[in-house]
Amino acid sequence: MAFRQALQLAACGLAGGSAAVLFSAVAVGKPRAGGDAEPRVVEPPAWAGTSRPGPGVWDPNWDRREPLSLVNLRKRNLETGEEELTSRLDHCKAKATRHIFLIRHSQYHVDASLEKDRTLTPLGREQAELTGLRLASLGLKFNKIVHSSMTRAVETTDIISKHLPGVCKVSTDLLREGAPIEPDPPVSHWKPEAVQYYEDGARIEAAFRNYIHRADAKQQEDSYEIFICHANVIRYIVCRALQFPPEGWLRLSLNNGSITHLVVRPDGRVALRALGDTGFMPPDKISRS
- Summarised one tens digit per residue, pLDDT across range 112-160 is 999 999 999 999 999 999 999 999 999 999 999 999 999 999 999 999 9
Nearest to 241 by CA among 223, 262, 265, 255: 262
- Summarised one tens digit per residue, pLDDT across range 226-254 is 999 999 999 999 999 999 999 999 999 99
3-class DSSP assignment, residue 271: strand
Top-confidence residue, 11 or 212: 212
Q: CA 135, 157, 174: angle at the middle one, nearest 5?
A: 115
Q: What is the CATH number of domain 98-285?
A: 3.40.50.1240
DSSP string, 132-172: HHHHHHTT----EEEEESSHHHHHHHHHHHTTSTT-EEEEE
What are the residue boundaries of the structural domains of the chain, listed by start?
A: 59-93, 98-285
Cα 239 to Cα 261: distance, rounded to the nearest angstrom: 13
pTM (predicted TM-score) = 0.79
Amino acid at 14: L
Average pLDDT over residues 169-193: 94
Kindly compute the dihedral angle of the four CA atoms of residues 182, 152, 282, 131, in this order, to the nearest 10 degrees. Answer: 100
